[in-house]
Amino acid sequence: MNKIIAYFTSICFFIILISISVFTLLKENNVFSPLENRYLTTFPNIQINHILDGTYQEEIEKAIDDQIVFRDTWAMIESYSEEAIGKVENNGVYFGKNQYLMERFSTYDQEQVKYNINQINQFKQKNEVNVAFLLVPNSAAVLTNKLPVYHQDIKIDALYQTIDKQLNSTILFINPLSSLRLHQQESIYFKGDHHWNLNGAFYGYQEFKKQQNHIIVKKPEMITVNNQFKGSMIRSAHRYLNQGEAILKLRNNAEVVVQYDKVRKDGLYVDDNLKMNDKYTYYLNGQQAHVHIDCRNNKEDKLLIIRDSFANIMLPYLVNDYQSIDVIDMRYDHESMSEFIKKNDINQVLFLYNIKNFVADKNFVFLK
């Protein structure tokens, strides 16, 4: 009996090791990992000088890490086993209640915040336009009852207050924290992505209008266009078993014309992107340096939005209120905003950022 078990153990051990090695070496090299959104190291070719200086061995090690068979599955099992041993987060993502995955936000650089706010203040002084600043909270700050018992997030309300205080009083600061918290029983953030969803963006929009003395009561009707969205948090926390979620659009959309790069198309949504992994790019095609939206109505105001991706999903609401909207991402578009405003007769500027992105954003140097 003892011997049989010993043989069985040994055979299993060697089969596992050998089959993992053989399959890893025989399968085709994966160049790109869609789940991680990054390029992988592939097995290097043998070169004598690389063997001698050791770079070959280093490359091989990286390649084994990146090319091992069932890589995604291994990572997924790790994530669930972490939860099983009582961890409340994986890779900086909290395991919230009801499958909510929420990004941890535990530190930020105060100097960067000061700098960014100062840049906005100076920008306001230079330009004769209305400036509003809508700062979208991260999901963990809003969905507090879905967080684990102990968590390590910063005191978000205090951070909002600090920013409000430092901001020039002529700038309209919009803090949607309390109105979003009021609706935390609804679905306002994606469970598996760090963005707010179309419903959450409505409350942001509502708050934005309220601060400008427009009370909006009626929420427009929304319809589901896809329910397979597995977002960035699912990928960060390796929770591939989590269910996909709904991507929504408004039932009645303004007939706008959107222009970016050399593309000119009707409507804010990009249907082709629903086939991609990151379905959030359905809204305004994800990362674009500069999008010009011709809203095709008889409104007079022209809006410039300086933003991160949290703005994309609020545009379906905003297009009804302006003649045109220009959406600029300072990471890719470094032109002078002041000149752009003069040239195009812009009379409203909206800074729209997620708070976690804003406090870390290093692109405010380009705000001129």
The least CB distance from residue 346 to another protein, in Å, is: 23
Contact 324, 292 (CB under 8 A): yes
Nearer of residues 321 and 333 to another protein, judged by Cβ: 333
Region from 79-87, 167-175, 177-185, 333-341 binding another protein, contact rule CB under 8 A: 79-87
Strands (E), 15-129: 32-33, 38-39, 89-90, 93-95, 101-103
d(C-alpha 151, C-alpha 361), whole Å: 24
Q: Examine residue 58 and tell whether it contacts another protein (CB under 8 A).
A: no
d(C-alpha 185, C-alpha 146), whole Å: 10
Nearer of residues 58 and 186 to another protein, judged by Cβ: 58
The least CB distance from residue 6 to another protein, in Å, is: 4
Contact 350, 326 (CB under 8 A): no
DSSP secondary structure code for residue 27 in this structure: S
Handedness of CA 353, 357, 359, 365 (dihedral sign): negative
Q: Examine residue 273 and tell whether it contacts another protein (CB under 8 A).
A: no
Contact 221, 251 (CB under 8 A): yes
The residue from 30, 42, 91, 112 that contacts another protein (CB under 8 A) is 91
Interaction residues for another protein, span 184-243 (CB under 8 A): 232, 235-236, 238
Q: Examine residue 59 and tell whether it contacts another protein (CB under 8 A).
A: no
d(C-alpha 186, C-alpha 195), whole Å: 15
Q: Examine residue 79 and tell whether it contacts another protein (CB under 8 A).
A: yes
Interaction residues for another protein, span 5-24 (CB under 8 A): 5-10, 12-13, 16, 20
d(C-alpha 281, C-alpha 311), whole Å: 12
The contact mask relative to another protein for 277-316 (x = CB under 8 A, - = no) is -x--------x--------------------xx-------
The least CB distance from residue 37 to another protein, in Å, is: 6
d(C-alpha 49, C-alpha 53), whole Å: 6
Q: Examine residue 81 and tell whether it contacts another protein (CB under 8 A).
A: yes
Strand partners, 350: 132, 305
Nearer of residues 209 and 334 to another protein, judged by Cβ: 334
| Sheet order of strands, 172-174 included | 172-174, 130-136, 348-354, 302-307, 324-328, 290-294, 257-260, 263-266
Q: Examine residue 27 and tell whether it contacts another protein (CB under 8 A).
A: no
Q: Examine residue 51 and tell whether it contacts another protein (CB under 8 A).
A: no
The least CB distance from residue 340 to another protein, in Å, is: 21
Q: Examine residue 158 and tell whether it contacts another protein (CB under 8 A).
A: no
**Half-sphere exposure in the Cβ direction for 125 (13 Å, CA):** 8
Q: Examine residue 67 and tell whether it contacts another protein (CB under 8 A).
A: no
The least CB distance from residue 56 to another protein, in Å, is: 14
The residue from 36, 164, 294, 301 that contacts another protein (CB under 8 A) is 36
Backbone φ and ψ of 298, nearest 5°? -105, 25
Contact 309, 193 (CB under 8 A): no
Tokens of 93: 């993502």
Interface ranges with another protein (CB under 8 A): 1-3, 5-10, 12-13, 16, 20, 35-38, 62, 65-66, 68, 71, 74-75, 77-79, 81, 85-89, 91, 106, 148-152, 232, 235-236, 238, 278, 287, 308-309, 329, 331, 354, 357
